[in-house]
Structure 1
Amino acid sequence: MHKFISLIALLFIFNISTAQIKAGNPEVDPIQVQKTFETWSAYQSKNIMLSRDFKALDVTSKEISKEFFLDQLANGNFIPIRLKSEGNEYAYKLFKILPKTDTSIKATINQIGFDAFKNFKMEGTAFPQFSFKDLNGNLVTNETMKGKIIVIKCWYIHCTPCIREFPQVNKLVEEYKNRKDILFISLAEDSPEQLKIFLARKPLSYSVIPDMKVYMNESLQLNSFPTHFILNKEGLIAKVLPNFESLEVALAKESKL
């Protein structure tokens, strides 16, 4: 009986150990990926998506809150590396930036960490007071948006990444066209005249609200474009996202709630 219990205990310990090893395995070598700024930039752009839900680990593999993790990226001396995991689950671990690493890597990480931390702190708060007309003269306010999931794209005409997303976000609108409880709205910096000329060449399926530069700078305090918001049916900010890839995943999740 004692031998049987000991065997069970050993198997339990082995399973925990195996899980920890699996969870702790980085998908790339943390030393090699910071050899040059180009290497890090290529990895970061494809693999680091801080707006998504993820499990966060510190340098000792201890699980920490997402808020603390992002704060460490914004103000510390760390790089985030994604850990190998099954399916679409995300797990990131902090690794120390090496002494001889290009200082541009740290500067970039601090910036993306700062932006992600700021966006994260907005989640769960009420979207700022809003009352504007779109290009078709329709009034859009916090009250008219209540009871619906609202997807908001913030952009401007000369923002190349913003425009590059148009085919993808238009496809997203088409995908949810039968969901009457989901609205797609965009806030643009540009004037109505500029937007009408531009959108005649580059159509956007979102409702477009012009002259939003002051609102986006002061009320939303945006410093990065594009930025996407998902508001839940209570008018609270569910997610703040920097690109279409993260938006697509977050909207799929929110639409099922």
Structure 2
Amino acid sequence: MFQFISCNNEEKLIPAFDPSPVDTIIASEDGYNRYYYQKMKFNDSSAYFDQNDSSINSSNFFGKLYKGSFFPLKSGNSNAYKLIEIKTWSSEPVNGMIRGVALQQYKKAVLIGRILFDRAVTDVKGVTIEPAAILKKAVFIKFWFIACVPCVEEMPELNNIVEKYKNDTTIRFISFAFDKPASLRNFLSKMPFKYHTIPVSNKYVLDTLGVESFPTHLFVKDNRVVKRLGSYREIETIIKDSLQKN
């Protein structure tokens, strides 16, 4: 079910939200955990509304959820979420868990649209990449570190993708790794990786960019982050879609 909201003499269609179960959900950790696993499935197609039924973007939604006293209520019939104000928390652990999820999602949301290359960077082989060199290009970024087993396991597949599109000058593959340059060079001499690999500090990755899970893949277009990928398997889908549009 949807409801109509009048705005400046225009009717705006928004999803219907039933707040009646909220008190029961937040009363216990078990109740919240059931809701979390069944309902809290945020993705690129999700719509977000504040406590006044105004549509807001994901960064505003999760920022309010983290800083305020709200519950993220999912619409029963659509991929939409609304902030429900909570006056008193019957379970402070549930409040803490919601804030934790909100902070994680907020960091993901604010990354979208960010300029990733504001200065020249140099990879472990001494190749310098200028910001101008990636303008008007599709750039795929990977965040990883040597001790990350899944990061290393996917490298052969990523090498195949790079090899497949090596003659396409509109596509670049770059990785950020927070190991020391010497350690990276030693590792890459044994495990070849065809991405340009740039050593960075873990503070930059974790604190500045808010990337906390590894591997993480980003799609960057015109030097701005467009999308955080669910996995490297989305890379070829994006490339093929881009080629079809061109």
TM-score range, shorter chain: 0.5 to 0.7
Residue in 2 that maps onto 1:147: 136
CA pair 80-200 structure 1, distance change in 2 beyond 3 A: farther
Structure-2 residue corresponding to 1:164:
150
The amino acid across from 1:209 in the alignment is I
Partner Cα distance (2:38, 2:123) in 1: 34
CA gap of 1:85–1:24, structure 2 versus 1, over 3 A, is same
Matched, 1:192 2:192: no
- Identical-pair percentage: 19
Measured after TM superposition, the shift of residue 139 of structure 1 is 2.4
Matched length: 227
Structure 1: gaps (5+ residues): 1-14
Quick check: 1:94 aligned with 2:108? no
**Contact 1:187/1:212, CA 8 A, preserved across alignment:** no
RMSD: 4.4
How far is the alpha carbon of 1:73 from its aligned partner?
1.0
Confirm or deny: 8 A CA contact 2:17 2:73 kept in the other structure.
Answer: no
Counterpart CA distance in 1 for 2:151 and 2:39 is 18
1:123 has 2:108 as partner: no
* 1:65 aligned onto 2:51: no
What's 1:75 paired with?
Answer: 67
Is residue 244 of structure 2 the alignment partner of residue 244 of structure 1? no
TM-score (norm 2): 0.65
Cα displacement (A) at 1:169: 7.5
Cα distance in structure 2, aligned partners of 1:80 and 1:170: 40
Cα shift readout 1:144-181 (whole Å, capped 9, x = no counterpart): 222211122233334x5xx4355568646756844833
Distance (whole Å) between structure 2 residues aligned to residue 25 and residue 253 of structure 1: 38
Counterparts of 1:132 and 1:112 in 2: how far apart (Å)?
33
Find the counterpart in structure 2 of residue 9 from structure 1.
none
Q: Are the equivalent residues in 1 in contact too, given 2:26–2:89 (CA < 8 A)?
A: no
Q: Are residue 222 (structure 1) and residue 210 (structure 2) matched? A: yes
| 1:137 paired residue among 117, 126, 145 | 126
Structure-2 separation of matches of 1:116 and 1:25: 21
Structure having the higher helix fraction is: 1
Q: Which amino acid in structure 1 is aligned with residue 68 of structure 2?
A: G
**Is the Cα contact below 8 Å between 1:58 and 1:64 reproduced in 2?**
yes
What secondary structure, in the 3-state scheme, does the structure 1 residue paired with 2:65 have? helix
| CA–CA separation in structure 2 for the residues paired with 1:152 and 1:113 | 24
Q: Distance in 1 between matches of 2:31 and 2:158?
A: 32
User: TM-score, normalising length from structure 1?
Assistant: 0.62
1:1-28 Cα deviation digits (max 9, x unpaired): xxxxxxxxxxxxxx8659x9994368xx
